[in-house]
Structure 1
Amino acid sequence: MTYVTEENLTDLAVERWSNIPDPRLRQIMTSLVKHLHGFVRDIEPTQQEWFAAIDWLTRTGQICDAKRQEFILSSDVLGISMLVDSINNRAPGAATPSTVEGPFHIANSPEVADGGNMADGAPGIPCFITGKITDIDGKPIAGAMLDMWQTDGDGLYEAQIEGAEGYMRGIYHSNPDGSYSVRTVAPIGYTIPMDGPVGELMRKTKISHMRPAHVHFHIAAPGYKSLTTHLFQKGCQFIDTDVVFGVKEPLIVEFIEHPAGKAPNGDIVDRPFYEVKYDFKLAKAAAAQKAA
């Protein structure tokens, strides 16, 4: 029998974790052991540092609930979420690029009619988002689902407001010609939650904890690769330092300011408002799979 030494421990652990019938799980676990051991050998943590890390992970789990996912947030700020997203969403170049879902998506948003207001009663400057959903060749996609969510004009998501339900989120569908029309309010740049373990860690750095102003979209249609992405406001001061590494150049859009008057959905607005125009292009499921 081979007994443990500092030098052979990694090899022994990898060998033991090779005893897994499922080949993919075996690949994952042996690689995990190798990289974790390599990390520990690199930094040589003290016992106190290791216990502090365990405590941080424990508290990260304890703060998670149905509306808050601190583990996703930790993955986001380390750039892991964007890396996983990029690996899993390789698509033809003409397709709209994806970006991270983030920790604030809530399932089963309310259905909103075309042109309807998903931000009714919310603070912020009125904002109208219009465009088309097409395939990569420009063919309209009818009935595509747009699941949308964002902050209000104060920089808050539903999950951050006690008792809020169906707030700043909604599900729309594209028309027969692929068009869609949304009324909302303009998002603003905001800080990630800083009252938990992730915020505690961020405060020990000089890294910006701000996200640029953006709107989230999850778009799906039968036969097409679903898309999770953002639209970012051009000129936002946090565009170049997004804390979750989510900004891709094709997703930066103009928020065009208009005076009070008739809006793109036909509403009469009694104050200045923004208009955003953007056409989303979806890859067919087979084409997306081939690109991967």
Structure 2
Amino acid sequence: MSETTHAGNGISTEQAGVEQELVDTVLASFDKAEDPRLMEVMQALTRHLHNFLREVRLTEAEWNTGIDFLTAAGHITDDKRQEFVLLSDVLGASMQTIAMNNQAYKGATEATVFGPFFLEDAPEIPLGGDIAGAAAGQPCWVEGTVTDTSGNPVPGARIEVWEADEDGFYDVQYSDSRIAGRAHLFTAEDGSYAFWGLTPTPYPIPHDGPVGKMLKAVGRSPIRASHLHFMVTAEGLRPLVTHIFVEGDPQIEIGDSVFGVKNSLIKKFETQPVGTPTPDGRDVHSQSWARTRFDIVLAPGSDLR
């Protein structure tokens, strides 16, 4: 074998050639793909994967550990828990994909991570209705408008909202099939909306599986900053997946485990003393409540990249 080393990484030129020949062979195996985009993606994935393997000189034992990790992620995933979404989130891949596909546009509301706890077919509530159901927590009045980037109101926009309870759990994490802390509603003719929810609190992402073990191994916290999820859709406008965060939440400074915080999405949640009248006259049972405002601006639906 040649004594010449390759690129200063301690392997011989001959060994580097053997490795590169394999890369080239795998790349060529995708040349006949009928879909050019599929070919582009698979070849780029192959190049980056092999570059990673060669850069860190991954051992067979380490590769098998990675396979075991992905297998465990598959086993724990079901219709209520998506471990691969969690993995994408904690590696920043979700936020990077969102950043690339939701570029800033004329004051449109910024997008952030979808998360693993959205459910189709959440119940509909009227304007001013309550998404909390039986979920525990401080009542919170949420209001705002939905407009386009020209300031025109968007009537009939569908707003999906979902959040954890004060103990940090979403309804799907309970075993009793409850529906709580989630609903959808539609904006009024003037683009306005309002509903009762809960004041968000910090909580950990599920960390009893392989993703949690990985975070522990690298010394990272699983805690998410306090937030309330939104997904907003309207005909002719770009769909928006986002959340709002609680101003003053210490976890924002410590760090959000899925890198989802953006300054524009941090909102004031103002606690109202016991006995303060609510906007709709609701009786909050002699407890404090909070209120916040989130005005949503949707970008045009055409490709803006």
Q: TM-score range by the shorter chain?
A: over 0.9
| Corresponding position: 1:37 with 2:53 | no
Residue 114 of structure 1 and its aligned partner are, at CA, apart by: 0.9
Q: CA deviation at 1:52?
A: 0.8
What is the CA deviation profile of residues 149-189 of structure 1, one whole-angstrom value per residue up to 9, with x for unaligned ones? Answer: 00011111112111233221000111111111110111210
After TM superposition, give the deviation of residue 228 of structure 1 in Å. Answer: 0.4
**Alignment correspondent of 2:28:** 15
Q: Give the AA of the match of 2:36.
A: P
Aligned to 1:264: 279
Structure-2 residue corresponding to 1:276:
292
Question: Which secondary structure does the structure 1 equivalent of 2:19 belong to?
Answer: coil
Per the alignment, residue 188 of structure 1 pairs with 201
Q: Over residues 126-157 of structure 1, what are the superposed CA-to-partner deviations in whole Å (9 max), with x where a residue is unaligned? A: 11101111111221111111100000111111
Counterpart amino acid of residue 273 in structure 1: W
Equivalent in the alignment of 1:251? 265
Matched to 1:41, the amino acid is R
Counterpart among 90, 113, 135 of residue 122 in structure 1: 135
Structure 2 Cα separation of the partners of residues 24 and 175 of structure 1 = 41
- Distance in 1 (alpha carbons) for counterparts of 2:35 and 2:298: 34
Q: Which residue of 1 aligns with 2:227?
A: 214
Deviation sequence 1:231-271 (CA, Å, 0-9, x none): 00011111131111111110000001111332123313221
Corresponding position of 1:173: 186
Residue of structure 2 equivalent to 1:104: 117
The answer as to 2:263 corresponding to 1:224 is no
Q: Kindly indicate whether the alpha-carbon contact (under 8 Å) linking 1:181 and 1:265 is maintained by their aligned counterparts in 2.
A: no
Deviations for 1:12-70, whole angstroms, at most 9, x for unmatched residues? 21122223121101101111111110000011122111111101001101111111100
SS at match of 2:162: strand
Q: Secondary structure at the match of 2:53?
A: helix
In the alignment, the residues of structure 2 paired with residue 205 and residue 262 of structure 1 have an alpha-carbon distance, to the nearest angstrom, of 48
CA distance in 2, matches of 1:122, 1:12: 56
Counterparts of 2:280 and 2:244 in 1: how far apart (Å)? 19
Q: Distance in 1 between the 2:281 and 2:103 partners? A: 38
User: Structure 2-normalised TM-score?
Assistant: 0.91
Aligned residue in 2 for 1:55? 68
Decide whether the 8 Å contact of 2:166 with 2:200 is kept in 1: yes
2:92 aligned partner:
79
Contact 1:104 1:159 in 2 (8 A): yes
**Would you say the 8 A contact 2:154–2:191 is kept in 1?**
yes
Letter paired with 1:282: L
**DSSP-derived class of the 1:268 partner:** coil
Letter of the structure 1 residue corresponding to residue 283 of structure 2: I
What amino acid is aligned across from residue 22 of structure 2 in structure 1?
L
Q: Secondary structure at the match of 2:55?
A: helix
CA distance in 2, matches of 1:93, 1:284: 10
Q: Contact between 2:141 and 2:194, CA under 8 Å: does it hold in 1?
A: yes
- AA aligned opposite 2:270: I
State TM-score, norm by structure 1. Answer: 0.95
Unaligned regions of 5+ residues in structure 2, if any? 1-16
CA contact (8 A) 1:191 1:211 kept: yes
The alpha carbon displacement at 1:5 in A equals 2.5
Q: Say whether residues 1:236 and 2:249 are aligned partners.
A: yes
Deviation at 1:91, TM superposition (A): 4.1
Measured against aligned partners, the alpha-carbon deviations of 1:54-91 in whole angstroms (never above 9, x if no partner) come to 01001101111111100010000000000111111124
**For residues 1-12 of structure 1, what are the structure 2 equivalents within 5 Å?**
5-12=18-25
Residue 170 of structure 2: which of 157, 164, 170 is its match? 157
CA distance, structure 2, for counterparts of residue 149 and residue 265 of structure 1: 21
The 8 Å contact of residues 133 and 179 in structure 2, kept in 1 or not, is answered as no
Contact persistence 1:17–1:26 (CA under 8 A): yes
Query: C-alpha displacement at 1:229, in angstroms?
Result: 0.3
CA RMSD in angstroms comes to: 1.3
Q: For the Cα contact (< 8 Å) 1:132–1:178, is it kept in 2? A: yes
In 2, the alpha carbon distance for the partners of 1:208 and 1:140 equals: 40
